[in-house]
């Protein structure tokens, strides 16, 4: 079974659009998401466009601010301070990665926690690990939604995550743990990786290397979630971290690239923007 993130996200966005339609009457306006894109990285340009398109579909106001990669850290921090102070802004997202001369951690920490639609702010991260109410990071949140929509039972399962990034590997591990999976986090220094991944009933791959996971690394019947968005060095087409053609026949459930986790990430960003908007209204 192939889980279509594209279809699931279309359904969820339609439900959100229905809800947002009522917001002007209830609250006087719709949620407003501001996306900051620094530089011209083609991947980032494409993802940020996807975020604007999804916003339009859901009825969320989107402002995308594009800055040259020569912007100083100070200028970026000042822009964020301005947006923090603007009561008409509900969500602030700084697309990553940033140019090397800018300290990403400092930029993320500068965003008002209540407007942190990515769930990357240190206070949101701390709340996640302490199981307190927080904004969940979009990609991990989308992964759990896909598993549930596919009818996958998470509780009691052996889950293996490849990758330990702040954006995906660590938070998705925590969410799987919260769903009562037994979680193993693997990475570049893991010995006998294939031996570990073959134990996985649920395998989440977020390593950022094209077709890194080969058929011999996956057990028959495994659920495989592919977070990678890479260019295939041979064909130049988009491909995941998983060799889809080789693994799809073995897996019980698998996500495609494109059309899998990516669209769900954007869908959850819409949900987070609505949540931030409503939480700010409630105050
Ligand atoms: N701040 N930076 C911040 N927040 C994020 O949530 C992200 N991420 C990751 C990179 N940097 C970020 C994204 O938005 C990755 N990411 C992302 C979002 C959407 C898609 C892929 C990555 C996506 O929609 N992928 C499509 C293909 C898009 C294409 O054609 O280029 C897919 O179907 O997988």
- Report, as an integer, the average pLDDT of 131-139: 97
Q: How many domains does the chain have?
A: 2
* Domain match, 113 and 169 both: no
84 and 164, same domain (yes or no): no
Q: Is residue 280 part of a domain?
A: no
61 and 90 part of one domain: yes
The predicted pLDDT at position 282 comes to: 86
Atom from ligand 1 closest to the CA of residue 93? 1
65 and 112 together in one domain: yes
pLDDT tens across 60-78, in order? 999 999 999 999 999 999 9
- Same-domain pairing of 146 and 69: no
| Residue 241, pLDDT above cutoff 80 | yes
User: Is residue 165 located within the same domain as residue 242?
Assistant: yes
Query: Domain check: are 48 and 142 in the same one?
Result: no
Is there a domain that residue 281 lies in?
no
- 283 within a domain of the structure (yes/no): no
- Residue 57, class by beta-carbon neighbours within 10 Å (0-12 exposed, 13-18 middle, 19+ buried)? middle
Pairwise CA distance, residues 243 & 228, whole Å: 11
Query: What pLDDT is stored for residue 107 in this prediction?
Result: 98
Enter the DSSP assignment of 1: -
Which atom of ligand 1 lies closest to the CA of 94? 1
| Residues 204 and 161 sit within 8 Å (Cβ to Cβ) | yes
Q: What is the pLDDT of residue 283?
A: 74
The answer to whether residue 17 sits within a structural domain is no
Domain range enclosing 93:
24-122
Q: Is the CB of 257 within 6 Å of ligand 1?
A: yes
CATH of the domain at 90: 3.40.50.10860
Tell me the pLDDT of the chain averaged across its residues.
97
Say what the pLDDT of residue 1 is: 95
Q: Assess contact for 119 and 125: CB atoms under 8 A.
A: yes
Read off the pLDDT of residues 67-109 as tens digits, 9 standing for 90 and up.
Answer: 999 999 999 999 999 999 999 999 999 999 999 999 999 999 9
Per-residue pLDDT tens digits for 139-157: 999 999 999 999 999 999 9
Give the mutation target among 2, 9, 47 for probing the ligand 1 site: most ligand atoms within 8 A of CB. 47
């Amino acid at each position: 079974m192939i889980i279509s993130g594209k279809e699931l996200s279309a359904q969820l966005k339609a439900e959100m659009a229905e809800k947002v339609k009522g917001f002007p009457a209830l609250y006087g306006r719709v949620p407003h998401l501001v996306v900051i894109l620094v530089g011209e990285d083609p991947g980032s340009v494409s993802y940020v466009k996807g975020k604007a398109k999804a916003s339009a579909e859901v009825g969320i106001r989107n402002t995308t601010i594009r800055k040259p990669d020569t912007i100083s850290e100070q200028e970026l921090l000042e822009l964020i301070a301005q947006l923090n102070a603007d009561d008409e802004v509900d969500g602030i997202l700084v697309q990553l990665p940033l140019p090397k001369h800018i300290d990403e951690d400092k930029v993320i920490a500068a965003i008002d926690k209540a407007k942190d639609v990515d769930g990357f702010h240190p206070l949101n991260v701390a709340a996640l690990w302490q199981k307190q109410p927080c904004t969940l990071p979009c990609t991990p949140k989308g992964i759990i939604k896909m598993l549930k929509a596919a009818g996958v039972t998470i509780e009691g399962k052996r889950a293996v995550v490849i990758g330990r990034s702040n954006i995906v590997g660590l938070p998705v591990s925590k969410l799987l743990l919260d769903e009562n999976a037994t979680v193993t986090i693997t990475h570049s220094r893991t010995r006998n990786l294939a031996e570990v991944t073959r134990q996985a009933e649920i395998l989440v791959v977020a390593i950022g290397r094209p077709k890194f996971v080969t058929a011999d690394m996956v057990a028959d019947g495994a659920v495989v979630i592919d977070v990678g968005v890479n260019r295939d060095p041979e064909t130049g087409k988009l491909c995941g971290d998983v060799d889809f053609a080789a693994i799809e026949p073995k897996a019980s459930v698998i996500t495609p690239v494109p059309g899998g986790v990516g669209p769900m990430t954007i869908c959850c960003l819409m949900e987070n923007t609505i949540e931030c908007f409503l939480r700010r209204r409630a105050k």
